[in-house]
Structure 1
């Protein structure tokens, strides 16, 4: 909606994890380095955890897109599955053809045979599980048992878990001690600091084609940093709404008032104490859009 106003090729702050907007932020690069090192060692489980919105799915997609050609990837974006459903899903990701009439033991045998066949062809197989905190206890145990499949010299399957901090808490329980001991590498994604946020915002605008004056100044970024707690998803939401408000006023940059209004209109942000507020109602975006359409001749 504001793309033409700011002369953009695409929306810079979409919530969809688009690897085309990937920026080499320190926590994200460190996470990828840990994952790449873990996969090269060929052992057990690797775990990446972080707060909601810190970029786990983006890193997950980046990892999958950049896997070497000698890796075969099985990807489970929604692991809210029973152990039986988990095995069927893994079999499908491995390209197995099978009859629905076979029992679970037969299915496990077919999975092992397929893994051995891929290994004989020189492939390393990695199972990537996103939103792993959603897995049931029984499914986590079924996942652990998959890593028992091995030859005398190597694991037939490596597992990478991406999850929220709830996954860490669950794995501390005594019943998960066997799985916990198989996690050879782990990384916890931290929030971004102010300098990283400044670079992150500028990078996304540049990728989207922005070539104008600085759109988000130092003062605006400072407010975004505090309100978002350094969480990329919230940064995207606030920047998107602030740009809508700026567009609605016909401004060429984003102002503090636009940021404060976006914060007021967004769930889960930290609202800083202040003496005044620009509009102070949940309808700020509706007003901005109404004004913006008037400016471009819709009314």
Structure 2
């Protein structure tokens, strides 16, 4: 909507995890190093947890994109699956073609055969699950049983779990002690520091093509960083809204009022108790849409 106005080539604060915008922030780099090092051992489960919006899916995609050729990756982005559905999903990710009429025991046998075949070709096979806190209890147990598949010298499958902290709470229960003991390495993503947050804001603008004077002054970038309390997704939301307000007023640099309006309109941000600011953002959004429509009618690109 505001790309032409701010001379940007793409949206800088999209909520879609895009590895082109990956920034070498300490918690994200540390998580990737733990994952890459642990995968080389070929043993057990690896778990990365973090609060909503801290960058788990981005790290997941970065890991998958940068896996060496010898790795064969099966990826389940939505593991809210029963044990039977989980086996079918894994079989499909491993490239198995099969009839839906076969039984679960036969399917498990086919999965083991495929893992052995891939391993014989020199592949290390990993199963990556995003949003793993959604796995039902029975499916967590089925997942554990996958790691029983092994040769005399190595496991046939490694499992990488990306999850919210709720998974840690469930794994602490006594009934999951067997699975818990198979988790060889864990990493907990922390919130960004103030300095990391402000650098993140400017980095995404640069990747999106911003040149010349900064759209966010250091002071306003800090205001946004404090309001987002270290959560990258919240930073994206707040920056996007601030740019919308700025665009709606025809300005070329975000002001404190624009930041305050964005914060007041965002539920999970540290609050600015001012209903006038919330109303102002609504007016700015309407103005932005009107300007966008005007550009469209004239044949331009906003």
Fold-level match, TM-score > 0.5? yes
Partner of 2:35: 35
Name the SS for the 1:41 alignment partner. Answer: coil
8 Å CA contact 1:72, 1:126 repeated in 2: yes
Which residue is equivalent to 1:77?
77
Change (3 A) 1:249 1:111: same
Q: Matched residues in 1 for 2:286 and 2:99: separation?
A: 58
Q: How many residues align?
A: 297
| Residue 35 (structure 1) shift | 0.4
Distance 1:257 1:278 in 2: 11
CA distance in 2, matches of 1:52, 1:189: 10
Deviation at 1:292, TM superposition (A): 4.2
For residues 46-102 of structure 1, the C-alpha deviation after alignment (integer angstroms, 9 at most, x for no partner) is 000000000000000000000000000000001000000000000000001111111
Counterpart Cα distance in 2 of 1:252 and 1:181:
55
Runs of 4+ deviating beyond 3 Å: 276-280, 290-299
* Distance in 2 separating the partners of 1:70 and 1:160: 17
> Contact (CA 8 Å) 2:116, 2:156: kept in 1 or not?
yes
If the length of structure 2 is used for normalisation, what is the TM-score?
0.94
Can you give the 5+ residue segments of structure 1 that lack an aligned partner in the other structure? none
Corresponding residue of 2:104: 104
The SS at the match of 2:160 is: strand
Partner of 2:106, secondary structure, is helix
Q: Do 1:248 and 1:293's aligned partners in 2 also have CA atoms closer than 8 Å?
A: no
CA-based RMSD of the aligned residues comes to: 1.8
Q: Distance in 1 between matches of 2:8 and 2:296?
A: 20
Query: Which residue in the other structure is 1:87 paired with?
Result: 87
Alignment of 1:1-299 (within 5 A): 1-272=1-272, 279-281=277-279, 283-289=282-288, 292=291
- Give how far 1:284 is off: 3.9
Gap runs ≥5 in structure 2: none
* Distance 1:153-1:263 versus aligned 2 partners, 3 A rule: same
1:250 Cα shift?
1.2
What is the CA–CA distance in structure 1 between the aligned matches of 2:193 and 2:11, rounded to whole Å? 23
Please list the CA deviations of residues 255-296 of structure 1 after superposition, one character each: whole Å capped at 9, or x if unmatched: 1110110111112111146xx776342624434425745996
TM score, norm. by length of structure 1: 0.95
Find the residue that maps to 2:79 and give its secondary structure. coil
3-state DSSP class of the match of 1:190?
A: coil
Contact 1:246–1:253 (CA under 8 A) maintained in structure 2: yes
Instruction: Say whether the 8 Å CA contact 2:87–2:107 is kept in structure 1.
Output: yes
Q: Are the equivalent residues in 1 in contact too, given 2:245–2:285 (CA < 8 A)?
A: no
